[in-house]
Amino acid sequence: MTPLPRSTDLFVIGGGPAGLATALAARRRGLDVTLADSSVPPIDKACGEGIMPDGLAAARSLGLDLNAAGGHPFRGIRFRDRESAVEAAFPNGQGLGLRRTALHRLMVDQAIDAGVRLAWGVRVSGIAPEGVIADDRLVRARWIAGADGGNSPVRRWAGLDASHHESRRFGFRRHYAVAPWSQYMEIHWGDGCQLYITPIASTEVCVVLISRDHRLRLEDALPGFPEVERRLSAAGESNPQRGGVTASRRLKAVYRGNVALVGDASGSVDAITGEGLCLLFQQSVALAAALEAGDLSLYQAAHRRIGRRPEFLAGLMLLLDRRGGLRSRAIRALAGRPNLFARILAMHTGELSTTDFLSNGLALGWRMLTL
């Protein structure tokens, strides 16, 4: 394990995807970077493991070719409820289903190659004006990045906990050893919960259950999705169920003094959007640019801009979660107009403007009224 230095330009707290992406982006701008995480790699986490084409492009801007880590491509998104289904391909490129541990391994290798100082198994217990308290001693740091996840202690220590709105849902993930039956990432809508299914290998799919009920598990929910249950019954379960909280949270500020938050620590959108990784790749690039300029207010502005579209989409998806009647009408309406769904998907991946989206929204509204 790399020993902690006396001082560093940037101390990154947390070595999940956000911490590693920030460390990489900052190293590429010439900063001396130290990263500490209380866990040891490869770090796993409950995640749908789907990366949209815009997420892959954002990773490329950090020099990360995620396709090199393996995984399985998917060509678009399919929505399904009890009565109807609609699907559309991404307008450009494909998404990638990639196991969290494979993503982590690739990012760690890249960070080592880039010269990031990595300290695994090291818990950070506090921050001070001059730096970070890690392993019970002070490491001097000009800048501190809090990449310590949704429950971020750094956010609390820096006094950045105030948020505009906040809601939580619960996700449970399991891998199943079965060949993907679809070229799409599928979202199955049920009453009060969703299943989302990502192909991650030619012989494996990742299944995530998301709901507001922290007691609901995959085995309880599956009978409500007979088609999925039938397909999965042929598979062996390849690992135990792993749970996590997915929060919709927008912070009032993402930096104070020399401390900036990134990734889930800096706020998040509901997991059903599949945008978490894309967001944090984009934030890392923006944060590194702001560090180089010596002005974290630039990061604040970029962070707000980056979050706008996913937050809007998350709001729509959560509305569909809460309003069953509206949801079945919307899916039925879209099933009758697959081109409309394709345009909504293009907006999801940032290839259509919000104005285009609003005109599509009006078209959808009209279609629902005339069904």
Q: Which stretch binds ligand FAD (CB under 6 A): 248-256, 259-267, 295-303, 327-335?
A: 259-267
| 141 near ligand FAD, rule: CB under 6 A | no
**Does residue number 328 form part of the binding site for ligand FAD (CB under 6 A)?**
no
Could you list the beta-strand ranges (E) of 178-237: 184-189, 193-201, 204-211, 236-237
Residue from the set 37, 186, 204, 311 that interacts with ligand FAD by CB under 6 A: 37
Interface residue with ligand FAD, options 2, 5, 28, 38 (CB under 6 A): 38
The Cα-based distances of 87 to 80, 90, 234, 278 in angstroms read 9, 10, 25, 22
Letter for the amino acid at 187?
I
Q: Is 199 in the site for ligand FAD (CB under 6 A)?
A: no
Residue 87 sits in the site that holds ligand FAD (CB under 6 A): no
> How big is the chain by its Cα radius of gyration, in Å?
21
264 near ligand FAD, judged by CB under 6 A: yes
- Residue 211 CB, nearest distance to ligand FAD (Å)? 11
Q: How far is the CB of 150 from ligand FAD (least distance, A)?
A: 6
| CA 276 to centroid of chain Cα atoms | 2
108 binding ligand FAD? (CB under 6 A): no
Distance, CA of 29 to CA of 47 (rounded, Å): 30
Mark 152-191 with x for binding to ligand FAD (rule: CB under 6 A) and - for no binding. -x-----------------x-x------------------
CA-based max dimension of the chain: 68
Residue 4 phi/psi, 5-degree rounding, is: -75, 140
Q: Which is nearer to ligand FAD, 27 or 364 (CB)?
A: 27
User: Collapsing DSSP states into helix, strand and coil, what is residue 234?
Assistant: coil
Judged by CB under 6 A, the residue of 28, 45, 217, 256 near ligand FAD is 45
Please say whether the dihedral angle defined by the alpha carbons of residues 122, 126, 127 and 130, taken in this order, is positive or negative: negative
Our finding on whether 244 is near ligand FAD (CB under 6 A) is yes
What are the residues facing 63 on neighbouring strands?
none
